[in-house]
């Protein structure tokens, strides 16, 4: 009786060993076929075969360990590669789904390298999607909405200089000059390579502030903002505002300097004759009568300003 039981157990173990060997052979064949399929360029089919090999090897315990190790490396990598291909082809929504699955699989298989790369890609894709929405709003001149959309980008990517720069443009267009200034300054802080472009934007922003002060009869404020505009990017409009505001405040030396700069930058300005006359009066106030005479002579025959210029020539006894 004991002999019969021993024989039965031996046969069962032998049969189990043969079955396991067959399963290992099938798992190995699946793995090898997956590699061949991958070399042929059919990555989707290869991924399916690697997963089948992995599933079968998992049932084999230690016998399937080598196949499991290889599959845990290649499966997340291949899923990530498929996601990248979708990005290249413009299938962003599908790419996000695939890369998320790659991240999940990398977490399951403890593949840290793929997990880090997948998460970086997902972050970039999210930023790109949010930037696309914000840019569309800016292009369609929905400025307040664009500002909020760029804030959403920055919430995900706090060091995105481009988002800050474009948010500044949107805020400026929405007449929120303080918010625009803050955004532009932050953009320049994050990316020095855009300094020149940011400075031009800030210069324009301060012109806007100066004009607002002019309308509010805030002469000193207009002068200060125009001077700030020049600090960022010298320009004719700001020089003109500085000149006229300084003239109103009886800061005649500053007025003369700024009006000369304006005329040099805008030699064909429509208001050239008027500015020449005002420059002449500023020069008189600073005691530079000889130079003032030269400017008054320049416009002495003008239909509108000629009479006033000739009067000044007479008073100054210009030759």
DSSP string covering 129-165, please?
A: HHHHHHHHHHHTT-HHHHHHHHHHHHHH-TT-HHHHH
Rg, C-alpha atoms of the chain = 38
Q: What is the pLDDT of residue 49?
A: 85
Class of domain 1-110: mainly alpha
**Residue 192: in which H helix or E strand, if any?**
none
Tokens coding 196: 């020149």
CA torsion through residues 53, 56, 61, 63, sign? negative
Coil, strand or helix at 81:
helix
**Residue 40: in which H helix or E strand, if any?**
none
DSSP string covering 272-315, please?
A: HHHHHHHHHHHHHHTT-HHHHHHHHHHTTT-TTTHHHHHHHHHH
pLDDT by 10s per residue, the chain, length 319: 434 433 333 333 344 444 455 666 777 877 777 778 878 878 888 888 888 888 877 887 777 778 888 888 889 999 889 988 988 888 888 889 998 999 999 899 889 999 999 899 888 899 999 999 999 999 999 999 999 999 999 999 999 999 999 999 999 999 999 999 999 999 999 999 999 999 999 999 999 999 999 999 999 999 999 999 999 999 999 999 999 999 999 999 999 999 999 999 999 999 999 999 999 999 999 999 999 999 999 999 999 999 999 999 999 999 7
Tokens coding 22: 């067959």
Q: What is the pLDDT of residue 21?
A: 54
HSE-CB at 71 with a 13 A cutoff on CA atoms is 27
Q: What is the pLDDT of residue 31?
A: 77
Sequence-separated (6 or more) residues with CB below 8 Å from residue 144: 170, 174
Domains of the chain by residue range: 1-110, 270-319
Place of tokens 């024989």: 7
């Amino acid at each position: 009786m004991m002999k019969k039981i021993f024989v039965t157990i031996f046969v069962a173990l032998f049969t189990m060993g043969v079955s396991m060997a067959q399963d290992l052979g099938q798992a190995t064949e699946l793995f090898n076929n997956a590699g061949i399929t991958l070399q042929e360029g059919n990555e989707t089919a290869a991924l399916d075969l690697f997963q089948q090999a992995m599933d079968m090897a998992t049932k084999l315990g230690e016998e399937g360990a080598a196949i499991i190790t290889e599959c845990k490396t290649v499966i997340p990598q291949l899923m990530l590669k498929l996601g990248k291909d979708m990005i290249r082809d413009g299938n962003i929504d599908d790419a996000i789904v695939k890369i998320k699955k790659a991240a999940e699989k990398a977490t399951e298989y403890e593949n840290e390298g793929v997990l880090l790369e997948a998460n970086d890609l997902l972050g970039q894709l999210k930023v790109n999607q949010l930037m696309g929405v914000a840019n569309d709003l800016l292009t369609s001149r929905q400025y307040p909405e664009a500002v909020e959309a760029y804030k959403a980008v920055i919430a995900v990517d706090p060091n995105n200089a481009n988002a800050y720069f474009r948010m500044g443009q949107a805020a400026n267009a929405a007449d929120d000059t303080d918010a625009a200034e803050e955004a532009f300054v932050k953009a320049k802080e994050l990316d020095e390579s855009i300094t020149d472009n940011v400075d031009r934007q800030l210069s324009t922003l301060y012109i806007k502030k100066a004009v607002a002060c002019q309308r509010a009869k805030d002469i000193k404020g207009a002068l200060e903002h125009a001077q700030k505009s020049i600090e960022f990017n010298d320009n004719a409009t700001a020089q003109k505002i500085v000149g006229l505001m300084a003239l109103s405040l009886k800061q005649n030396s500053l007025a003369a300097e700024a009006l000369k700069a304006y005329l040099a930058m805008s030699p064909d300005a429509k208001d050239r004759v008027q500015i020449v006359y005002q420059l002449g009066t500023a020069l008189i106030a600073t005691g530079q009568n000889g130079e003032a005479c030269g400017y008054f002579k320049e416009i002495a025959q003008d239909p509108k300003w000629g009479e006033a210029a000739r009067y000044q020539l007479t008073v100054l006894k210009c030759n």
